[in-house]
Amino acid sequence: MSSINREQLLGQLNWRYATKQFDPKRKINAQDWATLEDALLLTPSSGGLQPWTFIVVTDPAVRAKLKPASYGQNQITDSSHLVVFAAKDNFSEADVDAHIRHVAEVQGAPVEALAPLRNMLVGGIVKSLDEAARNAWARNQAYI
């Protein structure tokens, strides 16, 4: 893996911008799109919980229906790909437990070894926040 120096990193960060207009004829190639989807799946969140779903919208009719809810922005219909970030409502202990099982599987560790992490996540998010606050927390996790 190559490293990037400070000037290169800051140069890339300073270059970023919000795209105001897309050429509807230009499409992201399949290999690049697959890489972007993989990157979405690895996006970090608080506690690694990722309380969201990514919905790739390909149907032009659905995109047209979404445009009014997106302040009439043409990017919704003209972009090569459209990803909707949907935050999970009413995040629960069951969601934490599913995450813990996944982490245990990936790490090859027993679920019991992750009890301190589970207790921290349940105590700090599920039990300490009411439903409205948990929903706000999830929305903030999906926010870009």
Residue 21: per-residue pLDDT: 87
Give residue 1's pLDDT: 62
Whole-model pTM? 0.76
Query: For the chain, which ranges sit under pLDDT 50?
Result: none
Query: 44 vs 11, 39, 40, 66, CA distance in Å?
Result: 23, 10, 9, 27
User: How many residues does this entry show for the chain?
Assistant: 144
Q: What is the pLDDT of residue 144?
A: 64
